[in-house]
Amino acid sequence: MDRNYFGTDGIRGTANTAPMTPDIVLKLGMAAGQIFLRGDHRHRVIIAKDTRLSGYMVEPALTAGFIAVGMDVVLVGPLPTPAVAMLTHSMRADLGVMISASHNPYYDNGIKLFGPDGFKLSDETEHAIEALMQNNKITLAAPDKLGRAKRLDDAKGRYIEFVKNTFPKNLRLDGLKVVVDCAHGAAYQIAPAVLFELGAEVIPLGVAPDGFNINRDCGSMHPEYFCKAVVEHGADCGIALDGDADRIVICDEKGALIDGDQLMAMIAAYWHKKGLMKGRGIVATDMSNLGLERYMGTLGLQLHRARIGDRYVAEAMRANGYNIGGEQSGHIILSDHSTTGDGLIAALQAFAVMVEAKQPMSQVSKRFTPLPQILHNVRYANGAKPLEHKDVKDAIASAENTLGDNGRILVRKSGTEPLIRIMVEGEKEDQIKLLVADIAKAVEKISKQHAA
């Protein structure tokens, strides 16, 4: 069955435009609720959101859908995505929902679903939900079986304590000055509180959400802002989250960025030394740099590559018995602590390396020299299918022939936006720049032809 609603990370789109309209969201709540009405106990769903204006529209529509099929709703307000995963499992809920478009601008919104185990739903379950939405075979609850809705006032505190408990008990952050950019998003209260309570001096940025400024010129999508602040304040390091705080980037005391690949390398080496690693390897994706794979080899560890998307990383981790995985973009999954990407937990593990080594972040974070890699996005016209066109296929094939065994090429359609994402990696930066330009030119040409 075609996926009409779900992408690589739940459902996402422009607010008040299909599929993010109240009627579709209502139907999603009913369909997902019906799928997870398993057993004769009182069923429960946790619903959180980030700080977008449209959350006020999506939240009640979802709530009505779940109540209509007999599921109780627990509303927790603005909370990070990983908090939803944690609370769903902790509270023995049947389903967890995060209303967020992650790193997208405020005018987009989305819905991420978690099963009772705290993991994102499988493709098969998403297909089943879509089928119910399309065939209108939803069974509504009898009037005396309708669900109820209530708010959980201490959800934020529960998650703060959960995150703090992932930090080594023998360490503190006393004496560290840390810049924290919350992107005016879901962690705008939680992230500064966690670091402050562990002893750090916190310089908060992006903590004044107004419904419109989420991810705007701040957070992990615009790291130049917090990197500059680290240098200006003489901080020891900085972290920047995205809108729902499941992604993180870090910078050192010099303002130099540390991406997800370096972060995974740093944590893997630290855990390997302490005997904490499972499965003798980590899971990354095709976007991760070849330098990371080579570095894992020097530690006697493997790098398993999964499909792009943190839920596919999580699935591969479970299948291979690994407890470290993630994406170059900063989705880091540490399965001893969380079932999904958690920016704060990943940051605390990086801080543990720095504190225990008693060295600056610039020294402990540089684990390998990455191969030159260029990432480029090309927006295409709605309805266009550039990856199916011969000219684009020929451009990709030509680039692959030029690189041979000295690099990698990945061209894919974004699962969250109308973008073609181009990644070229190789030994020579000038060469890969030309190859990226050739592929992008072919994509742009097809998109213009379709628009015309």
pLDDT tens figures, 205-229: 999 999 999 999 999 999 999 999 9
Burial of 244 (0-12, 13-18, 19+ CB in 10 A): buried
The 10s digit of each residue's pLDDT in 335-359 is: 999 999 999 999 999 999 999 999 9
Q: What share of residues in the chain are helix, strand, coil (percent, to 5)?
A: 40, 20, 40
Q: Tell me, what's the pLDDT at 71?
A: 98
The 10s digit of each residue's pLDDT in 355-390 is: 999 999 999 999 999 999 999 999 998 778 889 999
Q: Tell me, what's the pLDDT at 337?
A: 97
Q: For residues 18-22, give the mean pLDDT.
A: 96
Average pLDDT, the chain: 95
Task: Answer yes or no: are the C-beta atoms of 184 and 210 closer than 8 Å.
Answer: yes
Q: For residues 291-301, give the mean pLDDT.
A: 95
Mark whether 102 is an active-site residue: yes
Q: Tell me, what's the pLDDT at 452?
A: 67
- With a cut of 80, say whether residue 1 has pLDDT above it: no
- The domain limits of the chain are 6-153, 159-257, 258-364, 373-451
pLDDT band at residue 2 using 50, 70 and 90 as cut-offs: low
Instruction: Kindly state which CATH superfamily the domain 373-451 is placed in.
Output: Alpha-D-phosphohexomutase, C-terminal domain (3.30.310.50)
Q: Rounded CA gap, 428 and 82, in Å?
A: 39
The 10s digit of each residue's pLDDT in 93-143 is: 999 999 999 999 999 999 999 999 999 999 999 999 999 999 888 999 999
Q: Tell me, what's the pLDDT at 383?
A: 78
Q: Which residue has the tokens 């303002």?
A: 255
Q: For residues 403-410, give the mean pLDDT.
A: 88
pLDDT band at residue 36 using 50, 70 and 90 as cut-offs: very high
Q: For residues 19-36, give the mean pLDDT.
A: 97
What sign does the dihedral 55-56-61-67 (CA atoms) show? positive
DSSP summary character for residue 278: S
Percent of the chain at pLDDT above 70?
99
What sign does the dihedral 101-106-109-114 (CA atoms) show? positive
Token pair in block for residue 368: 């390998």
Q: Tell me, what's the pLDDT at 297?
A: 96
The 10s digit of each residue's pLDDT in 264-280 is: 999 999 999 999 999 99
Q: Tell me, what's the pLDDT at 405?
A: 83
Picking from 161, 162, 191, the residue whose alpha carbon sits closest to that of residue 178 is 191
Q: Do domains 6-153 and 373-451 have the same CATH topology?
A: no
- With a cut of 90, say whether residue 7 has pLDDT above it: no
Q: For residues 161-170, give the mean pLDDT.
A: 97
Instruction: Kindly state which CATH superfamily the domain 258-364 is placed in.
Output: Alpha-D-Glucose-1,6-Bisphosphate, subunit A, domain 3 (3.40.120.10)
Residue 19: asked if its preceding bond is cis (omega within 30°), the reply is yes
Report the top-level CATH class of 159-257. alpha beta
Q: Tell me, what's the pLDDT at 10?
A: 92
Q: What SS3 string covers 378-445?
A: EECCCCCCHHHCHHHHHHHHHHHHHHCCCEEEEEEECCCCCEEEEEEEECCHHHHHHHHHHHHHHHHH
Report the top-level CATH class of 6-153. alpha beta
- With a cut of 60, say whether residue 6 has pLDDT above it: yes
Q: In what side-by-side order are the strands of the sheet with 419-426?
A: 373-379, 419-426, 407-413
Q: Which of 54, 100, 102, 447 is catalytic?
A: 102
Percent of the chain at pLDDT above 90?
88
